[in-house]
Amino acid sequence: MTRTTRRDFLVLTALALTGIGVAGCSADEGQGGATDDAPLAVPLDGSRTLIAYFSVPLTDSPDGMNQDEENSTHVVDGEVLGNTQYVAQLIEARTGADVFRIETAADLPLDFPVLEEQALQEQESGTRPELRALIPNLDDYDTVFVGYPIFWYDLPMPLYSFLEQHDLGGKTIIPFSTHGGSRLSGTVEIITELLADSTVVGNAFTISRDDMDDAESEVGTWLDSLNA
């Protein structure tokens, strides 16, 4: 799907969808393809598994949050976590995997309309934001969970930077996302196309920002299904 098509889709459906913009929008098994609901090509070994995620909580204070800040976060025992960050922590707790946070070199704006507009401009121009750091020991992992919110019905552009700047060939890639109404929005197919030499698991996880209270049980059920 081209960027023009995604832009056209946005214009046609924005009024009908909940969670517009950054937050709303937050096969066969084998190498080079999505595995759908098939068991993992590589057994999930916590010592050889990495969780890489991108998350943009708009605040770190649990007090007096506005609606946009509430939409982007989940509070656990007084700690404010980004929605995708929280899902990554749940996966970490269940699998014992290592965790790597994908961050941009430049700080992102925490004012939602500004962040939303920046995300759209980057998408339309095909910008690849510079990342703060790359994974130094990628060879240590066979399986990589890749987590992200949906930005304008697409991967956030920092995810394109991440996927293009790391050699993930031969690894099993397991996507997970958070959204405000558009679910996975075709992003598994995008990742599969970008990572032609990887095995991308089609049984990806996605959860609405409105359902974060159910995330622990839903993540557990999903993880069980990966090895079923």
Mean pLDDT (whole number) for 142-159: 97
Contacts (Cβ under 8 Å, ≥6 apart) of 14 = 20
Count Cβ atoms within 10 A of the Cβ of residue 143 and give its class: 0-12 exposed, 13-18 middle, 19 or more buried: buried
Residue with tokens 């079923």: 228
Mean pLDDT (whole number) for 211-217: 96
**Per-residue pLDDT tens over the stretch 80-135:** 999 999 999 999 999 999 999 999 999 999 999 999 999 999 999 999 999 999 99
Alpha carbon separation from 113 to 20, 101, 106 (Å, rounded)? 11, 24, 18
Q: Is the pLDDT of residue 21 over 90?
A: no
Handedness of CA 71, 76, 80, 81 (dihedral sign): negative
pLDDT for 36: 64
Q: Is the pLDDT of residue 210 over 90?
A: yes
More confident: 39 or 193 = 193
For 79, which DSSP code?
A: E
pTM of the model: 0.85
CA separation for the pair 101, 88 (Å, rounded):
9
What percent of the chain is predicted at pLDDT more than 90? Answer: 77
pLDDT for 31: 33
Q: Is the pLDDT of residue 56 over 70?
A: yes
Q: Mean of the per-residue pLDDT values for the chain? A: 86
Instruction: Kindly report which listed range (13-17, 18-22, 176-180) carries the lowest average pLDDT score.
Output: 13-17
**Per-residue pLDDT tens over the stretch 27-53:** 223 334 455 665 665 567 888 999 999
Handedness of CA 10, 124, 185, 148 (dihedral sign): negative
Architecture of domain 3-226: 3-Layer(aba) Sandwich (3.40)
Domain ranges of the chain: 3-226
pLDDT for 45: 80
